[in-house]
Amino acid sequence: MDKHAHLNKVIVDFKKLTPEVLKLTVERYPDGYDDRDVISFRNAKGERIEAVEVLTADTKYLVKISEKLEYTMENYDASDYDDFEDDDASAVVEPSAEDMADAEEDED
């Protein structure tokens, strides 16, 4: 039985990622996530979703994994969000393809 069944469940796509959920995700997975952290399920449309779980006192967030999420977690700086409310999804800016490509080149 799921011990978190009583929690509200929210699926979060990168476009709706808030500073609060991003911070919780980085705190939960400070070294990034790997295959054993990923939860796979089908949404109401029957699409396969892969996500990582982040919990608060009343909510279970299932944050959809993506290259954008990985990049944003790796480059997380809490001060980038000082001027925004915790629930402001416009605060988390989508990384450019160029920035993500530069990061991949740096890893090589």
Write out pLDDT tens, residues 53-99.
Answer: 999 999 999 999 999 999 999 999 999 999 999 999 999 999 988 88
Mean pLDDT of 1-28: 89
Whether pLDDT at 1 is above 60:
no
Cβ atoms within 10 Å, residue 84: 15
Distance CA 64, CA 11 (A): 7
Whether pLDDT at 108 is above 90:
no
Tokens 């006192």 found at: 57
In contact, 51 and 16? CB cutoff 8 Å: no
CA 6 to centroid of chain Cα atoms: 22
Written as six digits, the tokens of 50 are 């892969």
Position 107 scores a pLDDT of 66
Mean pLDDT of 16-39: 95
Distance CA 44, CA 64 (A): 15
CA 23 to centroid of chain Cα atoms: 9
Distance CA 20, CA 26 (A): 10
Position 3 scores a pLDDT of 74
